[in-house]
Structure 1
Amino acid sequence: MAAGRGSRYGALKQFDGLGPFDEFLMEFSIYDALENGFDHIVVVTQKDNVKFLKEYLSARIPGATKLDVVAQEVKDLPDGVSYTGERTKPWGTAHAVWSARKVIDGPFSVINADDYYGKQAFKNAAKFVAGDSDPNAFGLVAYTLKDTLSPYGSVSRGVCKQDGNSLVSVEERTQIEEGEKGISDADSDTKFSGEELVSMNFWVCKPIIFDQIEEDIRSFFKEEENLEKGEVYLPFVIQAMLQQGKTKVEVIPSESMWFGVTYANDKETAMAQLKTMTSEGQYRSPLWK
């Protein structure tokens, strides 16, 4: 998903050259996915970026890889639903996934373009897909909370509640940061040990989710107050399916490093991490030889 507007970052961070040869952060995720058996890349972006991204990625990724670049558009809505107002911000992460409904017909993973997820995370996701034939079973590749914080400000995290390996719920905490007294969420005053597993929006989904998203979009548009700034969030859609018994979700430990670029100051850290991993031989340089 690369359709965000980078409001806290101050630019379109999805297209910032962070790799040693100015590679986008998403290119490292694409590389790791292909290395672990994924063979179809779908990028969801703003309409103005479709042509650029299609040309840019087509010139880099292996020719045998199927590539689709689709636009997340405000006017792309279910039949019978319309919007005539003025709005530039997309309708949220669930709508972004729904925007790709015409090019996906099997199990798929969802990630953010502005996060680094790690090689092992993709290996574990691929193993889950290969070993699970239930069309209603989803997966959540989860990360340890203490490893997902930013030193430059608070972060929003979905904290996992589990029953064994099964996801019970994801509790959204919107102002988590580490201070002198430990890790806490300023909004709810919840304290954390740091060992909790959290969602970084790396989901393994099945096509049944498109029908649920469409249903949720229709419900969303029935509430007038949603239309100015509201969004339809992917974790909320999946949690609703979970509570209704429409799916089960396995929590898959990522066993990987995560880092992202929420704030502009995160850029330097991300660039240093990518440079180190490349110098250690984890990635080729340039990435696409």
Structure 2
Amino acid sequence: MKPTLLILAAGMASRYGSMKQIDGFGPNGETIIDYSIYDAIKAGFGKVVFIIKEEFVDNFKAIFDPKLKGRIEVDYVFQNFDLKQFGIEEEIYREKPWGTAHAILSGRKVVKEPFCVINADDFYGFDAYEKMVHFLNAEATDSNYSIIGYQIGKTLSDFGAVSRGVCKVDASGNLEEIIERTKVYEKDGTIVYEENEKEYPLAYETPVSMNFWGFTPAVFKITEDLFKVFALENKNNPKAEFFIPLIGENLVKSNTATFKVVPTSNQWFGVTYKEDKPFVQNSIDQLIKDGMYPESLWS
């Protein structure tokens, strides 16, 4: 059974100013998601599941169903605020969605095979999909998961500091912890992170998480149990978010599961602000010129 690609696409993209998940970046208006799915099909994924808000479904179907028909199985699931589905009867007010780990729970009824989770607005490169398929087919178990580790030097922005989850890896290549560094940037040819108004160097090859995870369906029950506790503990904190690294942290610290950090040397790029768009467009144009992608992706 081929693995599934689970795409997190329910975010509102408030800083970007529009639905960047379906904005065009390729020469024929291709979205970043188009390139992700193209790479996933090439690598050997058998199904793609979009996690979206229900009000987005017609837009997504109009864009993706015609081009993906006959190429890969497609499904849509909705992230919502209903807590009764998790057995939580208490009404909890929210200003924003519960976060990425809550989002993957939306796929628990349709994903029955090993799967990979990615962000809709991140360009990861074919190497990551190929390595993830190999892991999911050959190594994944209910107690052995994975994360793609990008070199921090290949994830920075020209438009200012970025936040990155720096991976601490043991001698076996497994994740020990993810340390969130909220201000990472390049200065005088060196990568540094800022903490308490001091700067500390980071090696160019330092592995970081860009939210590219590999799981088996067993993680859904684990995540649901963790979410119930998180939701009740944060019922008075309407901005608290339940992120995927919290799952990894819990499983690693409790010795319930290992996470293999699979290295890639691919360049990562993504869009947070409108100013990022020309850079992404130029990067895709260069990949097309280099023969990595056809100019018309789905023709």
Find the aligned partners of 2:129 and 2:164 in 1 and give their Cα distance: 20
Distance 2:90 2:267 in 1: 41
- Equivalent residue number for residue 103 of structure 1: 110
Letter in 1 for 2:286: T
Partner of 1:219: 229
Identity of aligned residues (%): 36
The alignment partner of 1:185 has SS state of strand
Aligned with residue 173 of structure 1, among 160, 174, 181: 181
TM, length-normalised to structure 2: 0.91
Question: CA-to-partner distance for each residue in 1:46-87, whole Å, 9 max, x for gaps?
Answer: 221122212321101141511111111112554321464553
Could you say which residue in structure 1 is the equivalent of 2:209? 199
**Over aligned residue pairs, what C-alpha RMSD do you find?**
1.8
> Where does residue 295 of structure 2 map in the other structure?
285
Question: What is the distance in 2 between the residues matched to 1:92 and 1:77?
Answer: 17
Distance 1:150 1:202 in 2: 19
- Output one character per residue of 1:199-255: Cα deviation in whole Å (capped at 9) or x when no partner: 000011111111121112111122245541111000111221111111111110123
* Deviation of 1:259 (Å): 0.6
Q: Which runs of 5+ in 1 are unaligned?
A: none
TM-score after normalising by structure 1: 0.94
2:251 to 241, 250, 255: 241
Q: Which sits farther off after the overlay, 179-188 or 250-259?
A: 179-188
Tell me, in whole angstroms, the C-alpha distance in 1 between the residues paired with 2:246 and 2:166: 13
Secondary structure of 1:70 counterpart: strand
Q: Which range is displaced more, 62-71 or 140-149?
A: 62-71
* Contact 1:5–1:89, Cα closer than 8 Å, also in 2: no
1:13–1:83 distance in 2 versus 1, CA, 3 Å: farther
The answer for the alignment partner of 2:56 in structure 1 is 49
What residue is the counterpart of 1:134 in the other structure? 141
2:66 corresponds in structure 1 to: 59
User: Helix, strand or coil: the match of 1:69?
Assistant: strand
Tell me, what secondary structure is at the counterpart of 2:255?
Answer: coil
Q: Map 1:143-154; keep pairs closer than 5 Å.
A: 143-154=150-161
In structure 1, what is the equivalent of residue 271 of structure 2? 261
Offset at 1:38? 0.2
Question: Number of aligned pairs?
Answer: 289
**What letter matches 2:22 in structure 1?**
F
Asked if 2 retains the 8 angstrom alpha-carbon contact of 1:125 and 1:141, the reply is yes
Cα 1:10–1:237 change in 2 (3 A) is same
Aligned equivalents of 2:69 and 2:263: distance in 1? Answer: 29
Q: Tell whether the 8 Å contact from 1:157 to 1:174 is kept in structure 2 after alignment.
A: yes
One-letter amino acid of the counterpart of residue 183, structure 2: Q
Residues 38/82 of structure 1: CA separation in 2 closer, same or farther (3 Å cut): same
- TM-superposed CA distance for 1:281, in Å, is 2.4
8 Å CA contact 2:39, 2:125 repeated in 1: yes
| Residues 86 and 224, structure 2, Cα contact 8 Å, conserved in 1 | no
Distance (whole Å) between structure 1 residues aligned to residue 271 and residue 25 of structure 2: 10
Distance 1:83 1:75, change over 3 A: farther
Which residue matches 2:282?
A: 272
Pairwise mapping of residues 23-34 of structure 1 onto structure 2 (< 5 A)?
A: 23-34=30-41
Residues 224 and 141 of structure 1, relative CA distance in 2, 3 Å threshold: closer
Counterpart in the other structure of 1:123: 130
Task: Tell me, yes or no, if the aligned pair for 1:142 and 1:199 is still in contact at 8 Å.
Answer: yes
Q: Is the 8 A contact 2:147 2:213 kept in 1?
A: yes
Aligned residue for 2:86, secondary structure, equals coil
